[in-house]
Structure 1
Amino acid sequence: MSLGILIVVFASFGFITTHAGALVNSTAKPVLTYEKCPDGFVRFQDSCYNFYVEQFSWPEAMVFCQALKYSLVTLTSPAQYEFLRSHLATITGAYPAAGFWTAGTAAELLGDWKWITTGQTIDFEQFNATDPNTGGHIGVSADQKSGCLALSKSMSFKISRQPCKTTQHFICERHDTS
Protein backbone atom coordinates (compact mmCIF):
# COMPACT_ATOMS: atom_id res chain seq x y z
CA MET A 1 0.00 0.00 0.00
CA SER A 2 1.45 3.40 -0.92
CA LEU A 3 0.40 4.88 2.42
CA GLY A 4 2.19 2.12 4.37
CA ILE A 5 4.93 4.49 5.41
CA LEU A 6 2.57 7.28 6.34
CA ILE A 7 -0.30 7.29 8.78
CA VAL A 8 -2.56 10.23 8.21
CA VAL A 9 -4.95 11.06 11.00
CA PHE A 10 -7.58 13.75 10.55
CA ALA A 11 -10.32 15.25 12.69
CA SER A 12 -13.92 15.32 11.55
CA PHE A 13 -16.87 16.35 13.74
CA GLY A 14 -14.95 15.66 16.95
CA PHE A 15 -13.73 12.23 15.83
CA ILE A 16 -10.40 11.11 14.46
CA THR A 17 -10.48 8.63 11.60
CA THR A 18 -7.35 6.67 10.72
CA HIS A 19 -6.72 5.32 7.23
CA ALA A 20 -7.67 1.91 8.65
CA GLY A 21 -11.16 3.23 9.34
CA ALA A 22 -11.09 3.25 13.15
CA LEU A 23 -12.96 6.10 14.84
CA VAL A 24 -11.66 7.66 18.02
CA ASN A 25 -13.50 10.40 19.92
CA SER A 26 -11.16 13.37 20.11
CA THR A 27 -10.93 17.13 19.95
CA ALA A 28 -7.23 17.00 19.05
CA LYS A 29 -5.78 18.81 16.04
CA PRO A 30 -4.81 16.79 12.96
CA VAL A 31 -1.59 14.83 13.38
CA LEU A 32 0.81 13.60 10.72
CA THR A 33 3.04 10.74 11.83
CA TYR A 34 5.69 8.86 9.84
CA GLU A 35 6.39 5.24 10.65
CA LYS A 36 9.77 5.21 8.91
CA CYS A 37 12.58 7.67 8.31
CA PRO A 38 13.76 8.34 4.75
CA ASP A 39 16.67 6.25 3.47
CA GLY A 40 19.92 7.31 5.11
CA PHE A 41 18.20 8.77 8.19
CA VAL A 42 18.24 7.35 11.73
CA ARG A 43 15.23 7.67 14.05
CA PHE A 44 15.23 8.71 17.70
CA GLN A 45 11.90 9.47 19.34
CA ASP A 46 9.94 11.85 17.06
CA SER A 47 12.84 12.91 14.82
CA CYS A 48 14.90 11.52 11.98
CA TYR A 49 18.59 12.42 11.66
CA ASN A 50 20.97 12.33 8.71
CA PHE A 51 24.72 12.52 9.30
CA TYR A 52 26.41 14.13 6.30
CA VAL A 53 29.93 13.27 5.20
CA GLU A 54 30.20 16.62 3.39
CA GLN A 55 32.10 19.32 5.25
CA PHE A 56 30.69 22.84 5.34
CA SER A 57 31.04 25.94 7.47
CA TRP A 58 28.22 26.38 9.99
CA PRO A 59 26.26 28.87 7.81
CA GLU A 60 26.64 26.61 4.76
CA ALA A 61 25.45 23.55 6.73
CA MET A 62 22.43 25.48 8.00
CA VAL A 63 21.46 26.54 4.45
CA PHE A 64 22.02 22.99 3.15
CA CYS A 65 19.64 21.50 5.71
CA GLN A 66 17.05 24.23 5.10
CA ALA A 67 17.19 23.65 1.33
CA LEU A 68 16.13 20.06 1.99
CA LYS A 69 13.32 21.23 4.33
CA TYR A 70 15.24 20.00 7.41
CA SER A 71 17.17 21.89 10.08
CA LEU A 72 20.52 21.56 11.80
CA VAL A 73 20.06 19.35 14.84
CA THR A 74 18.79 21.09 17.98
CA LEU A 75 19.65 19.35 21.24
CA THR A 76 16.46 19.20 23.29
CA SER A 77 17.17 16.60 25.98
CA PRO A 78 20.03 14.70 27.61
CA ALA A 79 18.56 11.45 26.18
CA GLN A 80 18.70 12.80 22.62
CA TYR A 81 22.23 14.15 23.21
CA GLU A 82 23.44 10.75 24.46
CA PHE A 83 21.74 8.98 21.54
CA LEU A 84 23.55 11.21 19.03
CA ARG A 85 26.90 10.83 20.80
CA SER A 86 26.50 7.05 20.91
CA HIS A 87 25.50 6.84 17.25
CA LEU A 88 28.39 9.07 16.17
CA ALA A 89 30.83 6.83 18.04
CA THR A 90 29.70 3.87 15.92
CA ILE A 91 30.04 5.64 12.54
CA THR A 92 33.06 7.86 13.15
CA GLY A 93 35.40 6.04 10.74
CA ALA A 94 33.53 7.33 7.70
CA TYR A 95 33.77 10.95 8.84
CA PRO A 96 37.30 12.43 8.87
CA ALA A 97 36.51 15.97 10.10
CA ALA A 98 36.77 17.10 13.72
CA GLY A 99 33.05 17.07 14.46
CA PHE A 100 29.43 17.67 13.50
CA TRP A 101 27.63 21.01 13.51
CA THR A 102 24.51 21.53 15.61
CA ALA A 103 22.05 24.46 15.48
CA GLY A 104 23.75 26.20 18.43
CA THR A 105 25.36 29.60 17.88
CA ALA A 106 26.28 32.94 19.41
CA ALA A 107 27.13 34.38 15.98
CA GLU A 108 24.26 36.88 15.98
CA LEU A 109 25.01 38.46 19.37
CA LEU A 110 28.23 37.85 21.31
CA GLY A 111 27.64 35.77 24.41
CA ASP A 112 23.99 35.12 23.56
CA TRP A 113 24.05 31.35 22.93
CA LYS A 114 20.84 30.17 21.25
CA TRP A 115 19.47 27.36 19.14
CA ILE A 116 19.02 29.10 15.78
CA THR A 117 16.12 26.75 14.99
CA THR A 118 14.00 27.65 18.03
CA GLY A 119 15.48 30.88 19.40
CA GLN A 120 15.77 29.24 22.83
CA THR A 121 18.73 29.98 25.09
CA ILE A 122 21.07 27.01 25.36
CA ASP A 123 21.22 25.31 28.76
CA PHE A 124 24.86 24.22 28.81
CA GLU A 125 24.58 22.54 32.20
CA GLN A 126 21.99 20.16 30.71
CA PHE A 127 24.60 18.88 28.25
CA ASN A 128 27.71 19.30 30.43
CA ALA A 129 29.15 21.39 27.59
CA THR A 130 32.79 22.43 27.79
CA ASP A 131 35.03 24.51 25.58
CA PRO A 132 37.92 22.52 24.07
CA ASN A 133 40.27 25.50 24.44
CA THR A 134 39.82 26.09 28.15
CA GLY A 135 37.91 23.14 29.59
CA GLY A 136 35.44 25.63 31.11
CA HIS A 137 31.77 25.96 30.41
CA ILE A 138 30.97 27.62 27.10
CA GLY A 139 29.97 31.26 27.25
CA VAL A 140 31.49 31.88 30.68
CA SER A 141 34.74 33.69 29.93
CA ALA A 142 35.27 36.65 27.59
CA ASP A 143 37.03 34.54 24.93
CA GLN A 144 34.10 32.11 24.72
CA LYS A 145 31.34 34.49 23.70
CA SER A 146 31.14 33.73 19.99
CA GLY A 147 31.16 30.77 17.67
CA CYS A 148 28.98 27.83 16.76
CA LEU A 149 28.42 24.52 18.48
CA ALA A 150 29.63 21.17 17.24
CA LEU A 151 29.74 17.64 18.59
CA SER A 152 33.52 17.29 18.81
CA LYS A 153 35.15 14.02 17.72
CA SER A 154 38.23 14.55 19.91
CA MET A 155 35.97 14.91 22.97
CA SER A 156 33.89 11.76 22.38
CA PHE A 157 31.31 13.94 20.60
CA LYS A 158 30.64 16.25 23.52
CA ILE A 159 29.30 19.65 22.57
CA SER A 160 32.00 22.26 22.02
CA ARG A 161 32.43 25.80 20.70
CA GLN A 162 34.07 26.09 17.29
CA PRO A 163 34.68 29.02 14.93
CA CYS A 164 31.66 29.13 12.58
CA LYS A 165 33.85 29.37 9.49
CA THR A 166 35.62 26.05 10.07
CA THR A 167 34.35 23.12 8.07
CA GLN A 168 32.68 20.23 9.86
CA HIS A 169 30.30 17.44 9.05
CA PHE A 170 26.73 18.19 10.14
CA ILE A 171 23.49 16.59 11.21
CA CYS A 172 20.15 17.51 9.63
CA GLU A 173 17.02 16.80 11.65
CA ARG A 174 13.47 16.23 10.52
CA HIS A 175 10.65 16.25 13.05
CA ASP A 176 7.97 13.68 12.28
CA THR A 177 4.98 15.19 14.04
CA SER A 178 3.29 18.49 13.43
Structure 2
Amino acid sequence: MALLAVVALLVSVLTFCEADCPDGFSKHGGSCYKAVRIKATWAESDVYCHSAGADLATIETAEEQHYLEGHLSAIAGAFDPPQFWIGGEDFAEEGTWVWLKSKTPISAQSYSNWIGGGSSLPITFDENCLMVTRDSGYKWEDNNCDDHYFFICEKDAYADLGIIIG
Protein backbone atom coordinates (compact mmCIF):
# COMPACT_ATOMS: atom_id res chain seq x y z
CA MET A 1 0.00 0.00 0.00
CA ALA A 2 2.84 2.39 0.86
CA LEU A 3 4.49 1.62 -2.50
CA LEU A 4 1.26 2.47 -4.31
CA ALA A 5 1.08 5.82 -2.48
CA VAL A 6 4.69 6.64 -3.41
CA VAL A 7 4.09 5.78 -7.08
CA ALA A 8 0.93 7.91 -7.15
CA LEU A 9 2.81 10.80 -5.55
CA LEU A 10 5.65 10.54 -8.08
CA VAL A 11 3.26 10.46 -11.03
CA SER A 12 1.40 13.52 -9.78
CA VAL A 13 4.63 15.45 -9.10
CA LEU A 14 6.05 14.59 -12.54
CA THR A 15 2.80 15.61 -14.22
CA PHE A 16 2.63 18.83 -12.19
CA CYS A 17 6.25 19.74 -13.00
CA GLU A 18 6.06 19.06 -16.72
CA ALA A 19 7.16 22.12 -18.69
CA ASP A 20 4.37 24.08 -20.30
CA CYS A 21 3.79 27.36 -22.11
CA PRO A 22 1.58 30.32 -21.28
CA ASP A 23 -1.60 31.00 -23.24
CA GLY A 24 -0.97 32.01 -26.82
CA PHE A 25 2.45 30.33 -26.96
CA SER A 26 3.16 26.99 -28.70
CA LYS A 27 5.66 24.54 -27.24
CA HIS A 28 8.49 22.93 -29.16
CA GLY A 29 11.38 21.30 -27.35
CA GLY A 30 12.42 23.48 -24.43
CA SER A 31 10.94 26.69 -25.88
CA CYS A 32 7.59 28.40 -26.25
CA TYR A 33 6.87 30.48 -29.38
CA LYS A 34 4.28 33.12 -30.22
CA ALA A 35 3.70 34.78 -33.58
CA VAL A 36 2.34 38.19 -32.63
CA ARG A 37 -0.38 39.78 -34.76
CA ILE A 38 0.89 43.32 -34.29
CA LYS A 39 3.03 45.08 -36.89
CA ALA A 40 5.97 46.82 -35.25
CA THR A 41 9.53 47.91 -35.88
CA TRP A 42 12.25 45.45 -34.87
CA ALA A 43 13.00 47.45 -31.69
CA GLU A 44 9.30 47.71 -30.78
CA SER A 45 8.98 43.96 -31.37
CA ASP A 46 11.84 43.31 -28.96
CA VAL A 47 10.21 45.50 -26.29
CA TYR A 48 6.88 43.70 -26.76
CA CYS A 49 8.53 40.28 -26.40
CA HIS A 50 10.33 41.42 -23.23
CA SER A 51 7.01 42.60 -21.78
CA ALA A 52 5.80 39.00 -22.21
CA GLY A 53 8.94 37.60 -20.52
CA ALA A 54 10.31 36.51 -23.89
CA ASP A 55 12.81 37.55 -26.59
CA LEU A 56 12.65 37.75 -30.35
CA ALA A 57 13.09 34.20 -31.61
CA THR A 58 16.56 32.70 -31.96
CA ILE A 59 16.84 29.84 -34.48
CA GLU A 60 19.79 27.61 -33.65
CA THR A 61 19.01 24.25 -35.27
CA ALA A 62 17.46 22.81 -38.41
CA GLU A 63 14.84 21.12 -36.21
CA GLU A 64 13.83 24.46 -34.70
CA GLN A 65 13.72 26.05 -38.18
CA HIS A 66 11.57 23.18 -39.49
CA TYR A 67 9.15 23.53 -36.56
CA LEU A 68 8.80 27.30 -37.08
CA GLU A 69 8.31 26.88 -40.84
CA GLY A 70 5.49 24.41 -40.22
CA HIS A 71 3.93 26.50 -37.46
CA LEU A 72 4.10 29.74 -39.45
CA SER A 73 2.78 28.04 -42.59
CA ALA A 74 -0.19 26.69 -40.63
CA ILE A 75 -1.14 30.13 -39.30
CA ALA A 76 -0.01 32.25 -42.28
CA GLY A 77 -3.61 33.10 -43.24
CA ALA A 78 -3.95 35.15 -40.04
CA PHE A 79 -0.99 37.36 -41.05
CA ASP A 80 -1.17 39.58 -44.13
CA PRO A 81 1.48 39.39 -45.39
CA PRO A 82 3.23 36.60 -43.43
CA GLN A 83 6.51 38.43 -42.66
CA PHE A 84 8.12 38.16 -39.21
CA TRP A 85 11.00 39.72 -37.31
CA ILE A 86 13.34 37.30 -35.51
CA GLY A 87 16.16 38.07 -33.07
CA GLY A 88 19.22 38.50 -35.30
CA GLU A 89 21.02 41.81 -35.87
CA ASP A 90 24.30 43.23 -37.18
CA PHE A 91 24.38 46.67 -35.49
CA ALA A 92 27.88 46.41 -33.97
CA GLU A 93 29.63 45.39 -37.18
CA GLU A 94 28.04 45.36 -40.61
CA GLY A 95 27.78 41.78 -41.86
CA THR A 96 28.56 40.19 -38.48
CA TRP A 97 25.20 38.81 -37.44
CA VAL A 98 24.49 37.95 -33.80
CA TRP A 99 21.49 36.68 -31.89
CA LEU A 100 20.13 39.50 -29.74
CA LYS A 101 19.38 37.35 -26.69
CA SER A 102 22.76 35.60 -26.35
CA LYS A 103 25.01 37.96 -28.36
CA THR A 104 26.30 34.75 -29.99
CA PRO A 105 27.60 35.24 -33.55
CA ILE A 106 25.31 33.37 -35.91
CA SER A 107 28.41 32.24 -37.82
CA ALA A 108 29.56 30.36 -34.68
CA GLN A 109 26.63 27.97 -34.76
CA SER A 110 26.58 24.99 -37.08
CA TYR A 111 23.15 25.85 -38.55
CA SER A 112 22.08 28.80 -40.71
CA ASN A 113 19.27 29.35 -43.20
CA TRP A 114 20.26 32.49 -45.12
CA ILE A 115 18.26 33.46 -48.16
CA GLY A 116 20.18 32.56 -51.29
CA GLY A 117 22.13 29.84 -49.46
CA GLY A 118 25.71 30.47 -48.47
CA SER A 119 27.15 31.04 -45.03
CA SER A 120 26.02 34.65 -44.57
CA LEU A 121 23.90 37.46 -45.94
CA PRO A 122 25.27 40.04 -48.34
CA ILE A 123 26.20 43.30 -46.66
CA THR A 124 23.36 45.81 -46.95
CA PHE A 125 24.21 48.97 -45.01
CA ASP A 126 20.68 50.06 -44.15
CA GLU A 127 19.29 46.62 -43.29
CA ASN A 128 20.48 45.44 -39.88
CA CYS A 129 17.61 43.28 -38.60
CA LEU A 130 16.71 39.70 -39.39
CA MET A 131 13.34 38.47 -40.60
CA VAL A 132 11.63 35.50 -42.24
CA THR A 133 8.83 35.57 -44.82
CA ARG A 134 6.57 33.01 -46.41
CA ASP A 135 7.59 34.26 -49.87
CA SER A 136 11.25 33.37 -49.15
CA GLY A 137 10.33 29.94 -47.76
CA TYR A 138 11.09 31.30 -44.26
CA LYS A 139 14.77 31.78 -45.13
CA TRP A 140 16.61 34.39 -43.07
CA GLU A 141 16.91 37.80 -44.69
CA ASP A 142 17.87 41.27 -43.56
CA ASN A 143 15.61 44.27 -43.68
CA ASN A 144 15.37 47.86 -42.51
CA CYS A 145 14.77 47.77 -38.75
CA ASP A 146 12.29 50.67 -38.94
CA ASP A 147 9.90 48.76 -41.20
CA HIS A 148 6.79 47.31 -39.56
CA TYR A 149 6.28 43.53 -39.57
CA PHE A 150 4.76 40.87 -37.39
CA PHE A 151 7.21 39.08 -35.12
CA ILE A 152 7.97 35.86 -33.25
CA CYS A 153 8.65 35.79 -29.52
CA GLU A 154 10.42 32.87 -27.84
CA LYS A 155 10.74 32.04 -24.17
CA ASP A 156 11.99 29.06 -22.22
CA ALA A 157 9.32 26.55 -21.34
CA TYR A 158 8.77 26.77 -17.62
CA ALA A 159 7.83 24.36 -14.90
CA ASP A 160 5.44 25.55 -12.21
CA LEU A 161 6.80 23.73 -9.21
CA GLY A 162 4.15 25.05 -6.86
CA ILE A 163 4.65 25.27 -3.11
CA ILE A 164 6.44 22.51 -1.27
CA ILE A 165 5.20 21.97 2.28
CA GLY A 166 7.21 20.04 4.76
Give the TM-score category using the shorter length: 0.7 to 0.9
Unaligned stretches of 5+ in structure 2? 1-8, 12-16, 160-166
Paired with 1:55 and 1:138, the residues of 2 have a C-alpha distance of 29
Q: How does 1:144-159 map to 2 (within 5 A)?
A: 146-159=127-140
Paired with 2:123 and 2:42, the residues of 1 have a C-alpha distance of 22
1:38-71 residue CA offsets vs partner (Å, 9 max, x unmatched)? 1111100001111101011101100111122111
Which structure dedicates a bigger proportion of its chain to strand? 1
- The 3-state SS of whatever aligns with 2:124 is helix
Match status 1:162 vs 2:124: no
Q: Which residue does 2:49 correspond to in 1?
A: 65
Which structure dedicates a bigger proportion of its chain to helix? 2
The answer as to whether partners of 1:55 and 1:170 remain within 8 angstroms in 2 is yes
Deviating above 6 A after TM superposition, structure 1's stretches of 4 or more consecutive aligned residues are none
Query: What amino acid sits opposite 2:106 in the alignment?
Result: I
The answer as to whether partners of 2:76 and 2:82 remain within 8 angstroms in 1 is no
Query: What amino acid sits opposite 2:143 in the alignment?
Result: Q
Paired with 2:122 and 2:79, the residues of 1 have a C-alpha distance of 31
Q: Which residue does 2:14 correspond to in 1?
A: none
Paired with 1:89 and 1:73, the residues of 2 have a C-alpha distance of 16
Q: Which residue does 1:8 correspond to in 2?
A: none
1:92–1:99: structure 2 CA closer, same or farther, 3 Å change rule? same
1:146–1:108: structure 2 CA closer, same or farther, 3 Å change rule? farther
Once the two structures are overlaid, the 10-residue window that deviates more, 41-50 or 120-129, is 120-129
Q: How many residues align?
A: 147
CA RMSD of aligned residues (A): 2.7
Match status 1:39 vs 2:20: no
- Give the TM-score taking structure 1 as reference length: 0.72
Q: Which residue does 2:111 correspond to in 1?
A: 126
Instruction: Report the alpha carbon displacement of residue 125 of structure 1 after superposing the two structures with TM.
Output: 7.0
Unaligned stretches of 5+ in structure 1? 1-19, 23-32
Instruction: Choose between structure 1 and 2 for higher RCO, CA contacts under 8 A separated by at least 6 residues.
Output: 2
The answer as to whether partners of 2:27 and 2:157 remain within 8 angstroms in 1 is no
The answer as to whether partners of 1:112 and 1:145 remain within 8 angstroms in 2 is no
